[in-house]
A = this chain, B = another copy of it.
Amino acid sequence: MIRTIASALAALALAFPLAAQEVPAALAPGEIVAEAAPQDWIRIAPEDLLVMTLAPAADGTAREVVIQLMPPPFSQGWVENIRTLARAGWYDGISVNRVQDNYVAQWGDPNHDNPEAEGEAKALPEGLRVMNQDEYVLPTNGPRIGAALAHLFRQDTKEDGSIEFPSDSYAQLTLHVDGWPSAVESPSSLWPVHCYGMVGVGRGMSPDTGSGAELYTVIGHAPRHLDRNIALVGRVIEGIEHLSSLPRGKGALGFYEDPAKRVPIRSIRVASDLPVAEQPRFEYLSTESASFARYAEARANRRDPFFIVPAGGADICNIPVPVRRTATK
């Protein structure tokens, strides 16, 4: 569903011409992505990639998870803390302690804040920033967000000057900002949203905002009620099945009651700290590209042969940003 909104934000759109919309008749979303031009793909900086190595599975299968950290202006205090923790080797030897069905998989120090701890909690490294909960949301007048909003309005303005936005159950409008699914309340507040695979920062009760020492990823239906209540710092871009297919914990909130069920984390490394030959290379489809606009439209209106009735809409978490691994060089 789309709805027409007259909003203060719409004024941003007036300076831009209308974009001609070209929609091939029957391409599936994946086919549109496969046809995207090389210049529509943006390389992810190695500084923004985390490589998390779990202990091998019972059958010996290696388990590696790659996380893309958010770029500015999102959550940078927590993102910096995560790099600090990774570089201190602090994450090495912690574990996945919680897997709650249709919700999250969470990893951290199992002895932290645990009344049944078997040992001492690990001391945190020096220099971690303490973030304020105001920083869960961002102003919309920064340059990156302003440009993304202007792009959205340019793209969706109709000939009569009205603008149609996809309806969303949680926000006035949703959009992708530099590749990240985001929501806006007019006129001045933007936040990243909890889609499948997004990575967030575990915390205690407010005003605690978490340091980044405990992290989780979404393994079920988007828990958008967590938006603006917890910091998001990235997303799993490879290997999420090593977390989403773990046995569910039988304790409260999906924590493993038996410590032996926890999954050891061998290490978490910032990719730029690895030898160049070992650095994984990934790129994402620019959410400001015409290819992405066609892909998003096709996700909302499936015309590939299996489908009979196009939905006429898609929530932002059903338009996952295409990410691909490229050859190491």
A: which residues have CB within 8 A of B?
1, 3, 58, 99, 101-102, 133, 136, 166-172, 195-197, 205-206, 220-225, 227-229, 240-241, 244-248, 299-300, 302, 305-315, 317-318
Contacts and interface: CB of A to CB of B under 8 A. Distances in A.
Nearest to A103: B196
A299 B225 CA distance: 8
Given A195-B221, A196-B221, A311-B227, A1 B306 contact: no
10 contacts: A1-B172, A169-B318, A170-B311, A170-B312, A196-B221, A205-B305, A221-B222, A221-B317, A225-B300, A315-B315
Contacts of A241: 101, 247-248
A269 to B, nearest CB: 24
A224 B196 CA distance: 15
Contacts of A313: 169-170
Contacts of A196: 102, 220-221
A314 B3 CA distance: 17
A307 B229 contact: yes
A204 B126 CA distance: 59
